[in-house]
Structure 1
Amino acid sequence: MKKATQVFYYSIIISVIVVLWGVFAPENLKSVTTDVTSELTAKFGWFYLLLVIAILLFCVYITFSRYGNVKLGKKDDEPEFSRLSWFAMLFSAGMGMGLVFWTTAEPISHAFISSPVAEEGSDAAVLDSLKYSFFHWGIHAWAVYGIVGLILAYFKFNRGMPGLISATLIPLFGEELMKGPLGKAVDVLAVFATVVGVAATLGFGSGQITGGLAFLFGTPNNFTVQLIVLSVATILFIWSAWSGIGRGIKYLSNINMVLAAALMILLFIVGPTMYIVNMFTHTLGSYVTDFFRMSLRLAPLDDENRSWINGWTIFYWAWWVSWAPFVGIFIARISKGRTVKEFMFSVLLLPSLVCFIFFSVFGVSALQLEQLGIATISSFTLETSTFGVLAEYPLGTFMSIVTIVVIAIFFITSADSATFVLGMLSTNGMLNPTNSVKITWGLLQSAVAAVVVYFGGTQGLQNMLIIAALPFALVIILMGVSFLKDVQTAPRPQRK
């Protein structure tokens, strides 16, 4: 495999072992991951909460510090992509189809199935449902992506180091150590976390497409159809990754942001418009008011609430951490020429606002149907809840078809971005990895997704995410310390 490094082969071996384990001993794999996950959430929930709020505060500090005006790159470097294309790509990579999957399912779950605090079905539960959705998909998630992306971009474009996670730790541990076994171990960990994180989203996405097709056209909703969907999508996202960032990935991201925005606007018009506006405004206020209380809520004296926190908040924080190497490297790759302040504002605030708007439109449209007794959306599966909502509004079939297209393109853009990043990580940080390496990673990601869905479904995906995320969380801490050490001791970077 031309230009593939030892990291490539070590990572392939580990990923293949997981696939084979899932194929030949699925129940054993499910049992083991369930036991490990239970231990991690019980003993390290506090760590995830403190880690993510610390990362967010670190991002705020860097944004408003004397380094905020520093350009990521040389003095005369200009951005490679327009602001619109840049935002479309970073948003598609960072949230993608997960956003479409949960915008309906999560508020409904919090309001009518398992409320974080209030009694299910009460007005308080309905209000909390959107607030906690904002919390899980807002600035905390993007802070995790942002800090990893900023540090990688700084070391790559300002310090001339390879685009590898291990390279960001050189100021802390030295070049010799980071080019040796320890550095390779760090990069292998980043690769595996990426494979598992993306495999989880591929599993969610293929499940929702399969569920949507069954809901609309009566096709079978089973593992065989889901595998066919996954196979077709694999061919498409490998083709997109083959085309490169400047062509396939950029064009698909731009197209999908337009389609997703059009779908959201159409539902806003035909749905409960004023209720959406009122809920958005109220929830934004309560989100800001309860920001730190939600950020550090662990419910140590309430087993039921603690279980909810483990299943939702801790799961999400682990999900964002497991996606951080992939999204961080991808955002870094497309952000050359941006200032630190522009980078942070664009990565933290704009995507969060877009997520809030999406959740308000889709979530409130679902909540109203259940509140008025028009449809029991809470009885639908996670995969079909969005289609159940759209069916109750004018142009429902049309919007459902557009939704499937949006999910499919988000599916492809997330996976092709990850394929590109895995290629970079396993070829010593090449900005344009060879096609053979990208194809290998594309096929392996889909294989892991298929196996994980087969042996454990949604729970299996959650287990794998939380297990892979914990060690990389420690790496993020070391990256932050290394970054601070370098920017404080290195020659002052060029300003824009």
Structure 2
Amino acid sequence: MDRSVFRISVGIAVVFVLIGVLIPEQLGAAMEVAKGFVLEKFGWFYQLVATFFLIFAAFMIFSKYGKIKLGKEDSQPEFSRPTWFAMLFSAGMGIGLLFYGVSEPISHFSSPPAGEGGTAQSGIMGMRYTWLHWGLHAWAIYAIVALALAYQKFNRGAPGLMSATLHPVIGEKVKGPIGKTIDVVAVFATLFGVAASLGLGSQQINAGLEYLIGIPNNFFVQFLIMMIITVLFIVSATTGISKGIKLLSNINMSLAVILFIAILILGPTLFLMNMFTTTMGSYLQNVVQMGLRLSPFNADEAAWTQGWTVFYWAWWISWTPFVGMFIARVSKGRTIREFTVAVLLVPSLVCALWFTVFGGTGINLEMVKGLDVSGQSLETALFFVYQHLPFGALLSVLTVALITTFFVTSADSATFVLGMLTTGGELNPPNRVKVIWGIILVASTLVLMASGGLTGLQTAIIVSALPLTFVVLVMCYGLVKELGKEYDIQMNQWKTDKKNKSNQKAG
């Protein structure tokens, strides 16, 4: 096992944590400068590549490569479709769905990307931009990286590393300094991307506990929450993917379905279904324009796009080693077409339904009943909505439980992926390695929260995602190159088999 990536990554991570502990103000200031530079200079680039990834994913569905199986011809899926979908959500966007479920649509409703806020038009516009951020573009990014990783692992026998997906382009150089650099970049994109979710999760658990039992909402409480949950996810991580993550994923899905149905029934049901239908038409009509919008003549609108849309593209790209590798790990035996359709369409539809129900309920409470939902903080908006629904306390208890299980599953999955990335692609990394990464992950999250709060988490994502974006672009080229060879081999084999059958009949 090559330990160099592990040593380098851990060393850099420890230095980062020490800097955050010793000089948090300076770290926060430096990260803010870096964030402003990337958003201003590379916003156009993120918009273009996100759209390209969506087009590329659609090409994979409809191309001649769709019938190629991930694995040998006789490979069968390891997990059932319901369990597979549950794993996609638990590792992908679990905490974010709860944190932003109400807060993002209501924020766009009150401060839309264009025009006046607080109107029916801004409600529809805000909802469709939420769909944009959590829909087809996001899952296309995941699908591409997961597909490249799965193909290299199950069809070519390559290690489960980001660098391995570039073998068709740079050859054996993936085993040298270039490949190791790519893997280190992937490690830190994963580390910061997941840290953002864990930071959001701890803040919202704290907000829920404040609502339920009056516990103060501050950094010290969030620190204690993270310490307790760290023990839980390390225990889960040491049980392996087939036990810990699978069990928690199914629990997550069950709790999420119960919560979703409860809000749909207890909230303004007819309004929500009308909102969903209207937003779908608006989204499909404007998806291309929204995905490429930058507003070069309006500084305020440009800043909105940078702070929301560009940030989300960077966040999803930073999560690709984590989510992509995890999806690849549980997707053996599925065809490229089945895989891409499932990863692209099913989660996008569920996210659309989720945000319509939760965000639509918040918008309805503000427009119809005059409540100040948009005036709440991001982490408290959901619990504020619960206060004005039947069984609000019970919904809050269920939500805190769900955030906790999502928290544990995300951290558990992240330590598993970080272990793979730093042990040469081991499918079952040693528990010691996973525990080390679990501790570093929590320490990095706390440092980012202490030095800049949510802004610090966003900055780390945006900066770390930039170099990884170029890796994913090269990955797309390498994937098409490999699939072309695979298709030619299969076609030649098919022609040979057909010719042999014809000869046998003639004989």
Which interval holds the TM-score relative to the shorter structure? over 0.9
Matches within 5 A, 1:241-280: 241-280=237-276
Residues 4 and 437, structure 1, Cα contact 8 Å, conserved in 2? no
Residue in 2 aligned with 1:23?
21
**Distance 1:283-1:444 versus aligned 2 partners, 3 A rule:** same
Task: Note the C-alpha offset of 1:460.
Answer: 0.7
Q: Does 1:150 align with 2:147?
A: yes
Kindly provide the CA deviation profile for residues 328-372 of structure 1, in whole angstroms up to 9, marking residues without a partner as x.
011001100011011001100000011011101101111111112
Query: After alignment, is 123-132 or 448-457 more displaced?
Result: 123-132
Tell me how far 1:18 sits from its aligned partner: 1.3
Runs of at least 5 residues in structure 2 that lack an aligned partner in the other structure: 495-507
Q: Is the 8 A contact 2:65 2:487 kept in 1?
A: no
Letter in 1 for 2:166: L
Instruction: Determine the structure 1 residue equivalent to 2:180.
Output: 184
Distance in 2 of aligned mates of 1:126 and 1:467? 31
Q: 1:376 to 1:186 in 2, by over 3 A?
A: same
Please say if residues 207 and 217 of structure 2, whose CA atoms lie closer than 8 Å, have aligned partners that are also in contact. yes
* TM-score under structure 2 length normalisation: 0.95
Matched, 1:306 2:305: no
Counterpart in the other structure of 2:291: 295
C-alpha separation in 1, matches of 2:240 and 2:102: 33
Query: Deviation string for 1:110-145 (max 9, x for gaps)?
Result: 111x21112011221111111111111001000010
Looking at structure 1, the residues matched to 125 and 167 of structure 2 have their Cα atoms a distance apart, in angstroms, of 44
Which amino acid letter does the alignment assign opposite residue 316 of structure 2? Answer: W
Q: Which residue identity lines up with residue 125 of structure 2 in the other structure?
A: D
Percent of residue pairs bearing the same amino acid type: 51
Residue 105 of structure 1 is matched in structure 2 by 103
1:394 corresponds in structure 2 to 390
- Per the TM alignment, residue 494 of structure 1 is displaced from its structure 2 partner at its CA by 5.7
**Aligned residue for 1:57?**
55
Q: Distance in 2 between matches of 1:493 and 1:246?
A: 34
Q: 2: distance between equivalents of 1:198 and 1:9?
A: 20
Alpha-carbon deviation of 1:168? 1.0
**Residue in structure 2 matching 1:281, options 277, 291, 300:** 277
**One-letter amino acid matched to 1:164:** L
Matching residue of 2:11:
13
Name 2:505's counterpart in structure 1: none
Asked if the contact 1:74–1:494 (Cα under 8 Å) also holds between the matched residues in 2, the reply is no
Structure 2 matches for 1:67-106, cutoff 5 A?
A: 67-106=65-104
Q: Provide the secondary structure at the position in 2 that maps to 1:174.
A: helix
The structure whose Rg is larger is 2
Give the C-alpha shift of residue 278 in structure 1.
0.1
Give the C-alpha shift of residue 245 in structure 1: 1.1
| Cα offsets for 1:80-119 (capped at 9, x unmatched) | 111111110011111111111001000110111x211120
Give the direction of change, closer, same or farther, for the CA distance of 1:358–1:436 in structure 2 (3 Å limit). same
Q: Aligned AA for 1:52?
A: A
Aligned match of 2:162: 165
* Structure 1: distance between partners of 2:485 and 2:350: 38
Q: How does 1:408-427 map to 2 (within 5 A)?
A: 408-427=404-423
Equivalent runs, 1:208-223 vs 2, <5 Å = 208-223=204-219
The root-mean-square deviation of aligned C-alpha atoms, in Å, is 1.3
Letter in 2 for 1:359: F
Separation of aligned partners in 2, 1:111 and 1:11? 41
Equivalent AA in structure 2 for residue 268 of structure 1: L
Q: CA deviation at 1:12?
A: 0.6
Q: Deviations over 1:309-335 (max 9, x none)?
A: 000000000000000111001100110
Matched pairs, number: 492
Q: Mark the CA change 1:493 to 1:108 in structure 2 (over 3 Å): closer, same or farther.
A: farther
8 Å contact kept, 1:158–1:493: no
